[in-house]
Amino acid sequence: MEYDGKYKVFDLSQISTYPLRTRSNKVTLDDLVRPADLEHLGIELPDTTRLDIESIAEAIVASRRAGKPVIVFTGAHLIKNGLGPLLGDLVRRDVVSLVAGNCATAIHDFELALVGQTSENVPDALGKGRFGMAYEFAYFNSALSVGDKYKLGCGESLGRMICDEGFRREIFELAGKDGPVDGFAHPEVSVLVACYEKDVPFTVHAGIGTDVVDQHASFDGRAKGGCSGRDFLIYTNQIAALTDGGVVLNIGSAVTGPEVLLKAVSMAANTGHVPRNIITADLDLRDHNHKAMSDECSQGYYFRDQKSVVTRIPRAFGGKGFYIQGNQKHTFPLLCRKIIQALELRDIAR
């Protein structure tokens, strides 16, 4: 990335890298939760939380049966917690109409698809100057550079890299990879792949300087911003389709998910696409006090996920917001289980 201004900038060409497969990781394929595991998982949640999750599951299935959007914005920990295969299964079942996340969400998914491991052991690497320095991140950055050339979004560029050999060849050549074009070893666990194959958007809402891929000589801020900007418009277009209801989930994203949703809702309403009677749900660990949402002296007022997703947005447009407190390793699998049960009941009824 070139700079012609008057200040000194860091020289990215000094960065040294290493193979991703040699990195110490905390999550492997054995840690992933597969759809077949759902019935055997031990899930400990209060009865009230279980009932709320069941209500959300029924609303999701009803919305999809009626052709209404079901949008999932997730933070990176859903992938790090091994729950990506469950989200991918919902995509393949046509339960989800759009998946969104920050760039870290896509990075963890990319790593799992490539080598079957993710979640770098940061304390082990940081003091050695190796944190985030795997050379395969050049593939990720090059995917955005090529995607930007074709005016694509981030998620589509990354999914196409994994699924399309010709597109991948162009990316690997840009990244300077020698030898034959290697495929991704584990595409079956990737949410990016599930979305690309099902023509479901996976939108990536990125910052600059927030991700390990930004540390590399291959980093192109213009490409990252351009692709992510297009993803924001794809996301907003789906929000604009909530005029007759639908469901929006925010899973473990404290700032990015709520803020992207808030801006997209405002844009939709401004253009006459008012999101009436939507169901919103925020899945997180923190305590929730609904009275704090109007009290600027309370710390809870500044929890943007609770304030925007659970309270302000549904209240503004006649919808209903849920807050699901608990470990997402329990809450999200239970939601998936209840969705599948609701799908099966509706199939029997038909």
pLDDT at 303: 79
If one compares 71 and 294, the residue with the highest pLDDT of the two is 71
**Residue 124 near residue 32 (C-beta atoms within 8 A):** no
Decide if 247 contacts 70 (C-beta within 8 A).
yes
| Count of positions (residues) in the chain | 350
Cα separation, 43 vs 127, in Å, equals 38
Q: What angle do CA 156, 59, 317 make, to 5 degrees?
A: 85
Question: Does residue 56 have a pLDDT over 90?
Answer: yes
Following CA atoms 204, 205, 208, 213 in sequence, which dihedral angle do they give, to the nearest 10 degrees? -20
At 182, the pLDDT band (50, 70, 90 cuts) reads: low
Q: Which stretches of 219-274 are DSSP H helices?
A: 221-239, 256-270
Q: How confident is the model at residue 347 (pLDDT cuts 50, 70, 90)?
A: low
Given a cut of 90, is residue 328 above it in pLDDT? yes
Q: pLDDT grade, residue 242 (50/70/90)?
A: very high
Percent of the chain at pLDDT > 70 equals 96
Q: pLDDT-derived band of residue 174, with 50, 70 and 90 as boundaries?
A: very high
pLDDT the model gives residue 267? 97
Dist CA 334 CA 331 (whole Å): 5
Structure tokens at 338: 């209840």
Residue 112, pLDDT > 60, answer yes
Average pLDDT over residues 268-279: 97
If you average pLDDT over every residue of the chain, what do you get?
Answer: 93
Distance from chain centroid for Cα 274: 24
Sheet strands side by side (includes 279-284):
202-204, 98-101, 70-74, 247-251, 279-284, 320-325
Enumerate residues 6+ apart whose C-beta is below 8 A from 221: 1, 208, 214
Report the C-alpha gap between 234 and 157 in whole angstroms: 14
Alpha-carbon gap, residue 287 to 248, rounded angstroms: 20
What is the structure's pLDDT at 7? 93
| Residue indicated by tokens 């699998």 | 333
Of the two residues 295 and 340, the one the predictor is more confident about is 340
Res 350 pLDDT > 70 = no
Alpha-carbon distance of 34 to 194, in angstroms, equals 14
User: By percentage, how much of the chain surpasses pLDDT 90?
Assistant: 81
Q: What would the mean pLDDT of 228-251 be, rounded to a whole number?
A: 98
The answer to which of 26-35, 254-263, 296-305, 336-345 has the lowest mean pLDDT is 296-305
d(C-alpha 77, C-alpha 80), whole Å: 5
Return all residues near 86 (Cβ < 8 A) that are at least 6 apart.
33, 34, 35, 38, 332, 333, 336
As a whole number, mean pLDDT of residues 304-317 equals 92
Residue 348 has pLDDT above 90, yes or no: no
Rounded Cα–Cα distance for residues 200 and 180 (Å): 30
Beta-strand pair 117-120/202-204? unpaired
Q: What are phi and psi of 67, to 5 degrees?
A: 75, 20
Name all domains of the chain by residue range, CATH numbers in brackets. Answer: 20-31+46-349 (3.40.50.10690)
What Cα–Cα distance (Å) separates residue 205 from each residue in 95, 155, 190, 199, 210?
22, 9, 18, 19, 11
Q: How far apart are the C-alpha atoms of 110 and 107, rounded to whole Å?
A: 5
Is pLDDT above 80 for 153? yes
Q: pLDDT digits over 199-214, tens only?
A: 999 999 999 999 999 9
Check whether 177 has a pLDDT greater than 80.
no
Task: For residue 346, name the pLDDT band (cuts at 50, 70, 90).
Answer: low
Is it the case that residue 74 has pLDDT exceeding 90?
yes
Q: Is the pLDDT of residue 315 over 60?
A: yes
| pLDDT value at 161 more than 60 | yes
User: Does pLDDT of 114 surpass 70?
Assistant: yes
Highest mean pLDDT among 94-108, 281-295, 333-347: 94-108
